[in-house]
Amino acid sequence: MQALSFSIRPALLALALCFLAPAGALAHEARVQVQDAWTRATVPGQGGTGAFMTLQANHDLELVGASSPVAGVTQVHEMKLEGNTMRMHPVPSLKLGAGQSVTLKPGGHHIMLLDLRQPLKAGTQIDITLQLRDAQGAKLSQTVQVPVRQNAPDGAAGASHEHDATHTHDHHGS
């Protein structure tokens, strides 16, 4: 009887490890809290729009890109004043420090949806997949459902993303 109980222990240990492995794997997945996500509605023929949200990672990550089934091109952008002109540029990455909130907003960092495949109608939602990289260089992703709105939500910082003669877009690099 003692030999039987001895041979069962390794089997029980192996079984327990099988249940623990998925929990350890989940700890390495992207864990970004997303708040106040929204994207601006478009009209027929409009080629692009911005998506905005507040991101908070539970460990150091970098936002290195994004994708969406509604857009042919999805990029992380930054608005910067260059001389007297506000210019928009794609950025290669955006640091998300552990526990720190990073706000993607009109007039600052945001996700640009270009080459739209259809108009985005207020009251619907779109999927945006955030492409992330951790401190060890591992690539991670997280899909977010983003409401489409006609206007910025009340209290949204920098809610205006108007275009005028001194506002230029540089969607494909500078």
- Does residue 112 lie in a domain region? yes
- Does residue 111 lie in a domain region? yes
Calculate the alpha carbon distances from 94 to 57, 88, 98, 133 in Å: 12, 15, 13, 10
- Does residue 69 lie in a domain region? yes
Name which residue leads in pLDDT, 173 or 57: 57
* Domain extent at residue 115: 30-160
Give the chain's domain count.
1
Given this model, what pLDDT does residue 51 score? Answer: 98
**Binning pLDDT at 50, 70 and 90, where does residue 23 land?**
very low
Given this model, what pLDDT does residue 117 score? Answer: 97
The answer for residues whose C-beta is within 8 angstroms of residue 66's C-beta and 6 or more apart is 51, 74, 75, 76, 111, 128, 129, 130, 131
**Binning pLDDT at 50, 70 and 90, where does residue 153 land?**
confident
Given this model, what pLDDT does residue 31 score? Answer: 84
CATH assignment at residue 63: 2.60.40.1890
The letter for the amino acid at 162 is E
- Does residue 71 lie in a domain region? yes
Residue identified by tokens 């990455």 is 93
pLDDT in tens, 88-130: 999 999 999 999 999 999 999 999 999 999 999 999 999 999 9
Hey, is 137 helix, strand or coil? coil
- Does residue 170 lie in a domain region? no
